[in-house]
Amino acid sequence: MWVAWLFVGYLLLAVAIPLAWTLVPVWRAARAARIVRCPEGSKPVTVRLDPWYATKMHMLGDRGRRVQDCTEWPGRASCDRGCLVQLGALK
């Protein structure tokens, strides 16, 4: 029976290692804070993206991003997130 569990463990590692090799850099890149110009206020703001959402979208083949935090929030939490256009070249 232990041979079957060993086989399952190796199989999981064979899937997990390449997946982590691909997704960890995406998660780290999305986690970093960025300074962009707010389209509504025309002043520099610090934006933090949601790294888990970016990783999930990367797995689905999309480059979608979502703002997690902004220095203008909570005052402008209902903005249209136009700053994401400036982050379009994010890899």
Is residue 30 classed exposed, middle or buried when 0-12, 13-18 and 19+ CB atoms within 10 A define those classes? buried
Residue 49 counted as domain residue: yes
Could you tell me the residue range of the domain that residue 11 belongs to? 2-85
Residue 26 has pLDDT above 50, yes or no: yes
Residue 91 counted as domain residue: no
Confidence class for position 91, pLDDT limits 50, 70, 90: very low
The whole-angstrom separation of Cα 47 and Cα 1 is 51
pTM: 0.64
Domain count, the chain: 1
Residue 53 counted as domain residue: yes
Roughly how many angstroms between the first and final C-alpha of the chain, as a whole number? 44
Any idea which of 9-13, 29-33, 75-79, 84-88 has the lowest mean pLDDT? 75-79
Residue 90 counted as domain residue: no
Residue 72 counted as domain residue: yes
The strands making up 33-37's β-sheet, listed across from edge to edge, are 33-37, 44-49, 67-70
